[in-house]
Chains A and B, each alone.
Chain A
């Protein structure tokens, strides 16, 4: 189950953070997301990308923590998508698919003329769309 998705701006400023758990663990998830920036920073600063992976946006598993696994995705504009899940076994393809759709949702959200770049994303329709994507995660079908 996906417990949290987050968008972090290129200056490591949080743009969007949504948790999908019943419990009151927002703070914990904030920490998990915040900590994952370390790993992303490191990968950004030491790119070991060559050839085919040069344009790879999917960062894969960033790190496991307690009961969670944290996955990352980095857009060309250095906006980071971070996903926290409790699933132990996640198929890479599912994860890629998720991030691809999440990315397009994000692109739509920031294309909104009322959105100020660099500010938090407050769009309700973005939130709805994200929760749809999250719900359909792992079901395998494109929605």
Chain B
């Protein structure tokens, strides 16, 4: 099989193009490309070279419109065993290409060419083109060329010969009128200027003898005169052999013209040879053999048939030659005869061949026409061709002789496909898939290769890029099966072509296509093509396979750069899908490839690390000169340097354009850009050098070396120095890693992050690696940072003072001023690191919007200039010197969390100051100080957000047991020394009547996971010493709540330890109003305010004790600021939470009923849970059980009341009263009058006799007589007559036994 076949292949004259002598690849390619342009030579243009020796057999040759078609086989081609069958498979001409400078001996060249031609016995014309001959080579030849000049128009030819000895053997006049011979002799490189005037309307054959070189010059000038086709070198009369043609050194265009002339000559020669061949074949016949025939011996009875067959085959071949000669009509006539004969003799194979030829003739004849009838005709005939090739397939041949007509069948299919390609996609696909199926039965591996190549190409022409890629991969796999590096190179190149379909082009190829669109979409917008790329990048399974194949093939092909690039792309794009071992394997593949590359090799495809722009230093003037006020200790006050305006409109940037910040850098001042590096892979990554890549040439970047641990990120500052005025664009970083230099563009990472945000890309490398750069904080995050100050001046800093200014000052929780103070005086070059604790502020809604937008486009996450707090550092030296110390924040301290501050050291302020300072020195002895403004560049991201808070109550009745449920839990717990019990555990014996739970609903809109930990600080006032205990709820083992990204969660905070022990009148405004004093309304209102404030304070106190802390990852933690939310949630029921009820009720079993042994065992509350519930506090039915009810007065006044006790069964029915009472009692149960002294408790005993085992509930209630205002206020009633009713929590009684 052959590549690149089409229906028209049958009319192409094959010419082998062979390099002769040593010839550099580039030159060969250049010459060959010049040559292949002459694929078509019009018959009309060769008429002057053509001489009819006999009557041409091509009677119907279209001299006006016909063409000879050439197919140049650069490098030659092996002989085909089928060349008798299809004449276009013969090599009919040989063109040698010689590059004279590298082959000095032309004699040798000639010999070599003659030898090379021996391999092509079928070649009818042989020429060797020698380009760029040297002076000496031309001198040597002394060849004279005969030019036959046919002149039809009047024109002038100027030949200029400088430095010449030209002998012109004729006068102008004679030349004008008579065909004469002129002999020109000149030096190489010279030009002849010879004005010749032709004005005849007839043809004047002029024979001109000249050196070939000069003849060419002549032609060149004629070309300039726009009359190209009048001068033709026909025969060269030199001593040199026929075949060597020297081309003078000339410009491309001239050489092109020479070549054209030569090709026309060759075409004419070929045409004449074809005529000869056909004439001979017609007269004497010819023997035509194919591999099929050589295997089958003809049986004797078929002899007659064989003769006819031979005739038919000869006709077919003559038809082929007619086609080659550009005469389709003649060809068709011969083919018709051939078809007839082949059909009669059952010669299917040749029938198919003739039919193919006839289709070709048809198409050539109707060249340029396009009608459905023609199309149908071609399709019909070709289907017949395919059928006949199939018919001629003989199993026997295929198996015994490894000769099969299948390849012809497939070729015919491909030809048909190529013909139909433009219109009938569906049909074509089916044909191609059938052809692909045929591949399995192809015997020759290279046939299969060609078939797949062709299928891939045809799918490509159809626009089916993915299918083309699929078959290209098949081709590559076939190549890979061959064990040599050339095949591997081919495989690699084929695979490289598939990368477009699989959307994994190397940037080297991609940049070309994107170059134009890049400029348009530079404004941070995403290139539409990259969006599509992102989408299609999800075919990762396929992409990885292809990349791996590219890697393998390039390793085998010995192309380390391609291997490096493939491994880099594989690693960079698919690291989440590759095991750590595989990642390390790729890393070593990178290193191995780099070992074989020269140092300093650049690759278009970046590997690791991922680099994103973090921020630019955004300060214009931080170091100001401040006049010192000698009289004050705070010398900087009252000496603001900012001019007459307190507010300068220019200091504020346009908030709408916060994304684009204008930076001004000063030539010669070092600047820094902060970038974030990430190594998401499982190996240690060493970046040999990284620096800012600047193409504008006015910036000196300073390289640095970084190493990154597995799965880690680093924020580093890359510095450099602008060297000349003009815009500086920093598109990315240049990285020297894995032995190769690559450019990492920020924009690409932005695209990647955008893709990750949309879920299109496998993973965001910056997310999975928790970096130690903590400048990006979530709302409420608390972080310790170090600010490192260095004295970059030449004078020690004697005084320094730090203050805060700007927005969000309160986010700076602490600044350790002492560290700076103690470091004074700061000598030149000395450095001091000041710890600062920052708590990220809350974003406003406007911020949230812009931050959200920003995050998706991720424009380097520039922190907003306006919202960061500023550190104002006033400092001064004491010496009377014009030179000022200069404090710089140059680099970062080495502590776990570090604040990176971008900083411009503004040396320029020294200049003007030095002058004005000189005058100042006279007037005041105090030299001025300086002010350094350091914005704390904190970028606050939206963190955990609060949705709502609400109060829930949970009511679980207590069980009656031998002990009272602790009424004053806090004190008892602390006294007993036990830890407060868990906030979440509810002791069933204690119950939790009136337990309030604060429910916080939080949502996590970020892309990280948050762990929430609620802590409630218990401030317990010990009765004895009033000391305060703060117990963190984390001691309770309160579990963390995890909130995944994009989820929300609810956190419950039990609010039960807040009740005050005493119900005090001071909490009630109304009380104080009436009680406090009868004095002036003013004092009353003051008191009112006071108490209100007290209440508010205690609510605030309550709220401030609830802390919701979060942690995310290893390094970031903070606190949620939800005070306001809690306040509003608690507002209505704050009193219920804070204030105790006036009366508390409790039941317990009277001790008398307990066996004494158990008393010892009486567990403390903390242990109660350990005891099996059935064993204690159980009450037997049919037994008198003594109970005690306790009533405690929580107020400071005596309370009179009537106590009642009820007992209910499971159904809630009163089971003491009524006809169906199941409980008998002893003692008083209702209307018990009691007086409880303040802060005391009273007990009342009674006994119950349960008739039926089961669950019962005891409830105590009281009606308070003569309730005072406090009680009324607490009960939230206004009417003085309404009885105040207090009800205790229900207590469960479990009665066991048999009914």
Contacts and interface: CB of A to CB of B under 8 A. Distances in A.
B436 to A, nearest CB: 8
A37 interface: yes
For the complex of A and B, list the 4 residue pairs with the smallest distance between their C-beta atoms, beginning with the closest: A11-B535, A38-B464, A119-B759, A13-B535
A123 interface: no
Interface string A106-117: 000000000010
B429 A13 contact: no
Contact of A42 (B425, B470, B545): B425
Interface stretch (A27-35, A78-86, A87-95, A127-135): A27-35
Say whether chain B's binding surface is mostly helix, strand, loop, or mixed. helix
Interface stretch (B175-183, B536-544, B1054-1062, B1236-1244): B536-544
A84 B532 CA distance: 25
Contacts of B542: 27, 30-31, 34
Contacts of A11: 531-532, 535-536
Nearest to A17: B541
B459 A38 contact: yes
A64 B433 contact: yes
A47 to B, nearest CB: 13
Interface string A37-56: 11101100000000000000
A12 B467 contact: no
Contacts of A35: 464, 466-467, 470
Say whether chain A's binding surface is mostly helix, strand, loop, or mixed. mixed
Contacts of A9: 535
Contact of A34 (B425, B430, B539, B758): B539
Interface in B519-545: 531-532, 535-536, 538-539, 541-542, 545
Interface string B76-113: 00000000000000000000000000000000000000
Contact of B465 (A27, A31, A38, A65): A38
A66 B455 CA distance: 14
A38 B535 contact: no
B1025 interface: no
Interface of A: 9, 11-14, 26-27, 30-31, 34-35, 37-39, 41-42, 63-66, 116, 118-120
B22 interface: no
Given A13-B536, A13-B760, A30-B539, A63 B425 contact: no
Nearest to A26: B541
Interface string B538-556: 1101100100000000000
11 contacts: A13-B535, A31-B470, A34-B542, A35-B467, A38-B465, A38-B466, A39-B429, A42-B463, A63-B433, A66-B436, A120-B538
B536 A63 contact: no
Given A13-B535, A13-B538, 7 more contacts: A13-B760, A34-B542, A35-B464, A35-B467, A35-B470, A38-B462, A39-B464
B759 A116 contact: yes
A34 B538 contact: no
B539 A42 contact: no
Contacts of A120: 538
Contacts of B463: 38, 41-42
Nearest to B759: A119
A27 B544 CA distance: 11
Contacts of B1158: none
Nearest to B758: A118
Contact of A14 (B433, B466, B532, B538): B538
Interface in B422-450: 425, 429-430, 433, 436-437
Interface string B125-142: 000000000000000000
A14 B760 CA distance: 10
A58 B858 CA distance: 41
A39 B433 CA distance: 13
Contacts of A34: 466, 470, 539, 542
Contacts of B541: 26-27, 30
B1115 to A, nearest CB: 28
B751 to A, nearest CB: 15
A9, A39, A41 interface centre (most CB from chain B within 10 Å): A39
B428 to A, nearest CB: 10
Nearest to B538: A13
Contact of B536 (A12, A27, A118, A119): A12
Contact of B430 (A30, A63, A116): A63
Given A35-B466, A116-B759, A27 B539 contact: no
A30, A31, A42, A118 interface centre (most CB from chain B within 10 Å): A31
Nearest to B434: A64
Interface string B384-425: 000000000000000000000000000000000000000001
Given A27-B542, A38-B467, A66 B437 contact: yes
A31 B544 CA distance: 12
A42 B462 CA distance: 9
Nearest to B468: A38
A41 B464 CA distance: 9
Contacts of B465: 38
Contacts of B545: 27
Nearest to A67: B437
B465, B470, B539 interface centre (most CB from chain A within 10 Å): B539
Nearest to A62: B429
Contacts of A41: 463
Interface in B448-480: 459, 462-467, 470
A143 to B, nearest CB: 31
Contacts of A63: 429-430, 433
Contacts of B539: 13-14, 30, 34
Contacts of A116: 759
B116 to A, nearest CB: 44
Contacts of A118: 758-760
B536 A64 contact: no
A9 to B, nearest CB: 7
Nearest to B1047: A114
Nearest to A9: B535
Interface in B728-766: 758-760
A34 B498 CA distance: 13
Contact of B433 (A27, A30, A31, A65): A65
Nearest to B502: A34
Nearest to B473: A31
B434 to A, nearest CB: 9
A64 B459 CA distance: 14
Contacts of A27: 541-542, 545
A118 B1232 CA distance: 73
A117 to B, nearest CB: 9
Contacts of B758: 118
Contacts of B538: 13-14, 120
A9 B532 CA distance: 12
B759 to A, nearest CB: 4
B535 A42 contact: no
B425, B467, B759 interface centre (most CB from chain A within 10 Å): B467
A105 B822 CA distance: 72
Interface string B287-326: 0000000000000000000000000000000000000000
A35 B542 CA distance: 11
Nearest to A63: B429
Contacts of B436: 65-66
A42 B464 contact: yes
A9, A13, A42, A119 interface centre (most CB from chain B within 10 Å): A13
Contacts of A12: 535-536
A34 B462 CA distance: 16
A38 B428 CA distance: 13
A11, A38, A41 interface centre (most CB from chain B within 10 Å): A38
A30 to B, nearest CB: 5
A142 B545 CA distance: 40
B1244 to A, nearest CB: 58
A42 to B, nearest CB: 6
Contacts of B437: 66
A31 B539 CA distance: 10
A38 B429 CA distance: 11
